[in-house]
Amino acid sequence: MKTALALFTALVTLGQTFGASDPGLAAWHLDNLYFLSNERLDPIVAPNGVASHLHRIVGGSNFGANYNYDQYAASGCTTAAVQADDSNYWMPQLFWKENSTYTPIKAGHRFYYFLHRNKPDEPVKAFPPGLRILVGNLNAKSQAETGLPQGVFNFVCLKDHFITPSGDKSGPDFNFATDCPQGLVTTVRFSTCWDGKNLYRTDGSHMAYTDNLQFGFCPVSHPVRLPGIMLEYTWQTYNLRPGVPLKGKLVWANGDTTGYGLHADFVNGWDTDVLNQALNDPGCLTGEMTMTACPTLALHTNNQAAVACKPARGVLETVEDFKPITSLPGCNKEWSSGAKPTCSPAVPNPDVPSGLKGTDGSLVYTGPSMLPDDNDPPNTWTRKGCIGGPSSLNNSFTYSDAALTQAKCQNTCAEWGMPWAGLNAGQYCICGSDVDQSAYHWSDGQCNSPCKGDSSKTCGGNGKLEMFHNPSATTIKHAGVTDPQYIGCRRQGTTGPALTAASISYQSTMTVDFCKQYCTAQKQRYAALSLGRTCTCGNAWANNGGTPMPQDTCNVPCNGNNKQLCGSMTISLSTYDLSLPGGSSPSGGSTGITSSSTSASSAPSGAVTVTKTVTVTAACSPPAHKRRAHRDFRA
């Protein structure tokens, strides 16, 4: 036991970013985890059938050929000392090959749950009922073919671990050119971040690793942080052939002699209430500890029950540790490269007894949402952390404001019907419809730029967005303007005018009505007013112009009608889409702001609502255009 404890300490230290008392460092391990069965069953990959090779299985007694959470969670016992965990865990059986025989090697089993939090209030949630996780590629013959980050698999050859742990050998596969007097450790780290929707995907896409495997940050696509399982089997090679180097002697149950065909599986059978309670029990989050040192889990611990636990639904076959056999069960010839060797004649499969068969559970989660965004309150901007980079919002637009505050950016995003507001580098506001799913949540400390307009708050950081979410901000509302053809305050082009087909400038008589009339006569779709006096027309936005701006930056009254707004003295334009219905009669005088005030910020309500599709599409047409706009803003 001490052996693996030392390994454990080393692993946790690698990921350390917190002080000793911080729950961010919490991790559990369970040493009292006993053998359940060794058989060709795999309820994930081969439901109700025979798996292609042997698995060494630990956990709940209701293990069978199918997987159904309700059935598994109702197991009468589990080989895990914590009897509230009726999950099953497995990896392939390891064999020693010599003298034309294959000898199943006995193993000790344990697992770890890494409960890393990046800040004390970041939740680590219980596995959802029905979750299945499979790690690894049983056909892999190299690290690259596993498709996994380095470190998911680890092999350690224990030499004289208690006295000189530094003498242990570690490697990416099991072919050590030495013997392992205290055993061969294989560890598999499971992915930690869940998509909140799928209980299993064959491509594994329902789960993701953090940015640094297990201790880091979850990607936005997989925002639900679960305990990070590490399954560890210590194979007793020393009991079988003491002193003999491992190289060339080992083979996984599927015939793989390289070691890279390792894979491991988890099917959830936890009593979810107990696990959630433990994950929120401060006494269980004080650092590294055995599971039984957690008071909540101690109540459910019974080592005698774990030792005595046997498969309740029967077994497919029996393979005894250290008892040699002449071929690997199934069609599993030794295999070190190329295509998997076939068997002729085909190897017959055993029949699966009906007791081992059953109904499979759903592949999609239907319980109460565990997605953090789904639980955000309406009409409120909720801080979502420090996320990704400036391009991590979809359908976005950016503007800069030398006096930016969090509230100003949020108001602008709400005005434009964008539920996501990201602030960057103290002065950029980026509004978007969605967050790029591949972005990561970073630590709050990386959003450290004071807001230019309120230094008491931060507005993002170097390449990181201070992100806020408001689920209700999905409808465009331009407060204070009643004209239904009004499509908001928008940006002038960065390399020339935003509209280029026609323009006319009247020093003293410009009005919205005249400009609309003029652009109609010019047969153009859009009309834009600026500087109180200039009217430009076009059928499409040019020169990166036309992107949304805050309504209150269109603050200059028209020279010919001070009840109307004609853009700004800088880059903001008051814009109209003449193809929209309901424009006021060009000869009428009622168009424009409804207040006698000349300041838009004090304009009364009377908002016009334009559907999001119409205007946002117009504002943010091609992606290339958006990218250029971003660069120009930051130049």
CB of 157 to ligand NAG, least distance (A): 18
- CB-neighbour burial class of residue 61 (10 A; exposed 0-12, middle 13-18, buried 19+): buried
CB of 323 to ligand NAG, least distance (A): 11
CB of 550 to ligand NAG, least distance (A): 24
Is residue 326 within the footprint of ligand NAG (CB under 6 A)?
no
Output 103 or 470, the one with its CB closest to ligand NAG: 103
Output 394 or 598, the one with its CB closest to ligand NAG: 394
CB of 600 to ligand NAG, least distance (A): 32
**What are the CA-CA distances from residue 621 to residues 202, 396, 465, 495, 613 (Å)?**
36, 10, 23, 17, 11
Find the part of the chain contacting ligand NAG (CB under 6 A) among 151-159, 431-439, 535-543, 560-568: 431-439
CB of 620 to ligand NAG, least distance (A): 12
Is residue 434 within the footprint of ligand NAG (CB under 6 A)?
yes
CB of 232 to ligand NAG, least distance (A): 25
Residues 320-333 as b or e (16 or more Cβ within 10 Å = b):
ebeebeeebbbbbe
Output 287 or 389, the one with its CB closest to ligand NAG: 389
Find the part of the chain contacting ligand NAG (CB under 6 A) among 94-102, 126-134, 201-209, 583-591: 94-102
Read off the amino acid at residue 529: L
Query: From the list 18, 34, 45, 98, which residue makes contact with ligand NAG (rule: CB under 6 A)?
Result: 98
24, 118 in Cβ contact below 8 A? yes
Output 437 or 597, the one with its CB closest to ligand NAG: 437
Q: What's the rounded Cα separation, in Å, for the pair 308 and 75?
A: 13
Give the torsion through C-alpha atoms of 336, 4, 274, 134, to 10 deg: -10
Among residue numbers 520 through 549, which ones bind ligand NAG (CB under 6 A)? Answer: none
Query: From the list 281, 360, 373, 436, which residue makes contact with ligand NAG (rule: CB under 6 A)?
Result: 436
CB of 239 to ligand NAG, least distance (A): 11
Output 221 or 539, the one with its CB closest to ligand NAG: 221
H helices present in 428-531, as ranges: 512-521
Output 243 or 378, the one with its CB closest to ligand NAG: 243
Query: From the list 99, 304, 456, 587, which residue makes contact with ligand NAG (rule: CB under 6 A)?
Result: 99
* 23: preceding bond cis by omega (within 30 degrees): no
CB of 393 to ligand NAG, least distance (A): 8
Output the DSSP codes for 132-186.
EEEEE-TT--SHHHHTS-TTSEEEEE-SSTTT-GGG-EEESSS--SS--TT-EEE
Output 358 or 432, the one with its CB closest to ligand NAG: 432
Output 119 or 323, the one with its CB closest to ligand NAG: 323
Torsion sign (Cα): 192, 195, 201, 205: negative
Pairing of strands 486-491, 476-478: unpaired
Torsion sign (Cα): 291, 296, 297, 298: positive
- Which residues are CB-neighbours of 508 under 8 A, at least 6 positions away? 533, 559, 560
Q: Which residues pair with 37 in a beta bridge?
A: 57
CB of 143 to ligand NAG, least distance (A): 28
CB of 102 to ligand NAG, least distance (A): 9
CB of 210 to ligand NAG, least distance (A): 20
Q: Which residues pair with 421 in a beta bridge?
A: 431, 468
Is residue 373 within the footprint of ligand NAG (CB under 6 A)?
no
Find the part of the chain contacting ligand NAG (CB under 6 A) among 29-37, 430-438, 565-573, 607-615: 430-438
Q: What's the rounded Cα separation, in Å, for the pair 461 and 445?
A: 9
Q: Which residues pair with 335 in a beta bridge?
A: 256
In angstroms and rounded to an integer, the radius of gyration of the C-alpha atoms of the chain is 32
Query: From the list 72, 89, 96, 381, which residue makes contact with ligand NAG (rule: CB under 6 A)?
Result: 96
Q: At 383, phi and psi to the nearest 5?
A: -70, 130
Find the part of the chain contacting ligand NAG (CB under 6 A) among 92-100, 116-124, 221-229, 497-505: 92-100
Output 244 or 540, the one with its CB closest to ligand NAG: 244
SS (H, E, C) 239-272: HHCCCCCCCCCEEECCCECCCCCCEEEEECCECH
CB of 330 to ligand NAG, least distance (A): 21
Find the part of the chain contacting ligand NAG (CB under 6 A) among 98-106, 164-172, 400-408, 450-458: 98-106
Output 67 or 440, the one with its CB closest to ligand NAG: 440
Is residue 211 within the footprint of ligand NAG (CB under 6 A)?
no
CB of 26 to ligand NAG, least distance (A): 33
Q: What's the rounded Cα separation, in Å, for the pair 550 and 288?
A: 50
Is residue 394 within the footprint of ligand NAG (CB under 6 A)?
yes
Is residue 78 within the footprint of ligand NAG (CB under 6 A)?
no
CB of 421 to ligand NAG, least distance (A): 16
Among residue numbers 286 through 325, which ones bind ligand NAG (CB under 6 A)? Answer: none
Find the part of the chain contacting ligand NAG (CB under 6 A) among 77-85, 250-258, 331-339, 434-442: 434-442
Is residue 103 within the footprint of ligand NAG (CB under 6 A)?
yes
Block residue for tokens 């911080």: 22
CB of 202 to ligand NAG, least distance (A): 21
Output 394 or 562, the one with its CB closest to ligand NAG: 394
Q: What's the rounded Cα separation, in Å, for the pair 289 and 229?
A: 14
Residue 227's nearest CA partner among 200, 263, 273, 190 is 190
Q: What's the rounded Cα separation, in Å, for the pair 54 and 6?
A: 30
Q: What's the rounded Cα separation, in Å, for the pair 248 and 213?
A: 30
Residues at the interface with ligand NAG (CB under 6 A): 96, 98-99, 103, 241, 394, 434, 436-437
